[in-house]
Amino acid sequence: MNDSFGRVLGYSPDDLIGKPLSWLHPSAEVKSISEKFAALVAHHDATVTCRCSLRSKSGQWRWFDVVAVNRLQDPNVQGILLSYQDITEFERMEAQRMVLSKVVHALNETSNLDDLLQQIHGALKKVVYAENFLRRSSRSANRNVSFSFFR
């Protein structure tokens, strides 16, 4: 582990050294990641790439592109080399772009206000991290709409 990896996730070397990588992954990813690494270990000089999320010390999830190279047979290395590239901001921007695309599509394709609000609600809840999400609209002539988010 190098200092950059620790800084990005907020951990010190003592927090991570000796712990399995699965400790940082969401449980839904552990099986897939384990299978990729098993295949990597089985083939000398093999390379595996994947995209995964890791839990930071603060509890937030960050996204990474990972390249893993088997150097177990190399006497100078004798290990698996891992390179992580933090793509969290890219993933966030991509999710926002998808929401905007869905909202524009709904605006162009939906004539019923209730259906439109339902589609906007469905799109927004994918990027707004709140436990409760309330949509209100008034039945007045100007059809005011408000969205409220609660933690």
CATH architecture of the region 3-86: 2-Layer Sandwich (3.30)
Mean pLDDT throughout 72-87? 91
What is the model's pLDDT at position 58? Answer: 92
Contact yes or no for 21/38 (Cβ under 8 A): no
pLDDT of residue 139: 54
In the chain, what are the domain boundaries? 3-86, 91-150
Q: What is the pLDDT of residue 138?
A: 54
> How confident is the model over 89-96, as a mean pLDDT?
82
Is 8 a residue whose pLDDT tops 50?
yes
Confidence of residue 151 (pLDDT cuts 50, 70, 90): very low
Which pLDDT belongs to residue 90? 85
**Which position has the higher pLDDT, 9 or 143?**
9
Identify which has the larger pLDDT, 21 or 42: 42
Mean pLDDT of all residues in 26-36: 88
Q: Please provide the distance, in angstroms rounded to a whole number, between the alpha carbons at the two ends of the chain.
A: 34
Helix (H, G, I), strand (E, B) or coil at 95: helix
Portion of the chain with pLDDT greater than 90, in percent = 25
